[in-house]
Chains A and B, each alone.
Chain A
Amino acid sequence: MSRFLFPKWSNLLLPGLIAAGAVMPLYAVFFVAYGFSPKTLDAGYQPVQPVPFSHALHAGQLGMDCRYCHNTVEDASHAAVPPTQTCMNCHTQIRPESPKLVEVQESYRTGKPIEWIRIHKLGDYSYFNHAAHVNRGVGCVSCHGRIDQMEVVYQSQPLSMGWCLDCHRNPEPHLRPVSEVTNMAYQPEFELTDTEREGLLAKYDIHPSENCSTCHR
């Protein structure tokens, strides 16, 4: 008789398979949470811009304040990307013939705006307001990362709802004096004591809202 007999080692297969069956769903859950989170799918977006404009040069080495160019940031919900005229304050005189500035000169001549590619973008159903944050001592760096070290801007934070709420629930560690909001190197955790931070919370009367209608209006 030549009936097939499972070899003895095959007894190990069953516990092995059960173990795999138990671990695989965990693996799948972990992978979806890690791989499909906004930190993977949204953060890190770095498009190639039409002009090789460098924040590392202008905001970093030249030490220009963000508000020189993004001058609506304290008064409006939108942080305006500067018009060509702002660049020409300097570039009529500094390297006007540079090949890197051809698009800028062209835009200046024709009046057609430079088509900068939008990087940070929330879903169209949500509402964000720069003035509300910048005038309450939340620095640019908390949400945009070290822009002053970026040759090409990329999105450094996920900008997901969970991320917004993390801070709205506990804003204290992110607060700094309003005079330092554009200071990218300022680190509140080293510069301020806990009592000073609590003082800021009271001084600026900060109660970030968690109501749906704050951000979905």
Chain B
Amino acid sequence: MPRVIIYSSFVLLLLLAVPPAIVAKIRSTPSEGRPIHIVQDMDYQSKFKTQTPNPLFADDRAMRQPVPGAVARGEVFDDPHFHEGTLDDGSWASEFPARIDVDLEFVERGKQRFGIYCAVCHGDAGYGDGIVNERAMTLMANADGPLQGTAWVQPKSVHAPEVAAQPVGQIFHSISKGIRNMAGYEAQIATEDRWAIVAYVRALQLSQNAPAGLRAEATR
């Protein structure tokens, strides 16, 4: 057999390996060029889904913001104790709202939520030593002054005497509306869950600064 034919059939065989190799490369490297939909079916329909843009509105949102003053169903703020943490005379509530059962399950819910929303800054035990705090402190300690405008204030320990002495309503209010350098978490955490976090903060405070009598009782 002439060499040409033998060699060229080898070359052809090798060429056959090229397309799968290209595909293998595409599969193993993330890139911008996807998804490729050759047959589009009804993948892209002319409807708006959650969090999609709509060019008809000035702010490009398909999800419209409620008109100022609108009240959604079930969202009536008729209970200042539950929604604001204040009593009728405007002072901080020192009890949990009547519609909440503070039981073990509720405190555990609070523990979980505290872990999600608060521990990054306040630390797992609430001493104000979370990972974000550590990171921000190194930015503050930068030799040439704080980096890029960083102005970090250390999160307050929830065990500080002035915080431990606060009524539950005031702590609830700090979480909801924010306090000085801390942002409010009203938009991120449901009202009930904010109360659960308050219950857990109380439990933390008790566990770290338990009065001597209680401690003796627990170890007895």
> Hey, which bits of chain A sit against chain B, CB under 8 A?
9, 12, 16, 27, 30-31, 34-36, 39-48, 61-65, 67-68, 71, 77-78, 80-81, 83, 85-86, 88-90, 92-98, 111-113, 115, 118, 121, 123-125, 152, 154-155, 179
Chain B residue at smallest Cβ distance from A90:
B132
Q: Pick from A39, A41, A97: contact of B36, CB below 8 A.
A: A41
Chain B residue at smallest Cβ distance from A63:
B131
Residues of B contacting A111 in the complex (Cβ-Cβ under 8 angstroms)? 59
A92→B135 contact, CB < 8 A: no
- Return 15 A-B CB contacts under 8 Å, by A number: A31-B19, A43-B34, A48-B32, A68-B188, A80-B50, A81-B51, A85-B187, A86-B188, A90-B132, A92-B183, A94-B136, A95-B147, A95-B150, A124-B49, A155-B34
Residues of A contacting B136 in the complex (Cβ-Cβ under 8 angstroms)? 93-94
Interface of B is mostly: loop
Residues of A contacting B83 in the complex (Cβ-Cβ under 8 angstroms)? none
Interface string of B40-68 (1 = CB under 8 A from A): 01111101011111000001110000000
B183→A88 contact, CB < 8 A: yes
> Hey, which bits of chain B sit against chain A, CB under 8 A?
1-2, 9, 16, 19-20, 23, 26-27, 29-32, 34-38, 41-45, 47, 49-53, 59-61, 112, 115-117, 120-121, 131-132, 135-136, 139, 147-153, 181, 183, 185, 187-189
Nearest Cβ in chain B — how far from A121, in angstroms? 8
Chain A residue at smallest Cβ distance from B1:
A9
B23→A124 contact, CB < 8 A: no
Nearest Cβ in chain A — how far from B154, in angstroms? 11
Complex CA gap A92/B131 in Å reads: 17
Given A41-B35, A45-B34: A124 in contact with B150 (beta carbons within 8 A): no
Chain A residue at smallest Cβ distance from B47:
A124
Closest 6 CB pairs of A and B: A97-B149, A154-B30, A46-B30, A124-B45, A45-B34, A9-B1
B27→A40 contact, CB < 8 A: yes
Residues of B contacting A113 in the complex (Cβ-Cβ under 8 angstroms)? 59-61
Complex CA gap A61/B132 in Å reads: 9
Nearest Cβ in chain B — how far from A41, in angstroms? 4
Given A34-B20, A78-B50, A80-B51: A65 in contact with B150 (beta carbons within 8 A): no
Given A96-B148, A124-B42: A42 in contact with B34 (beta carbons within 8 A): yes
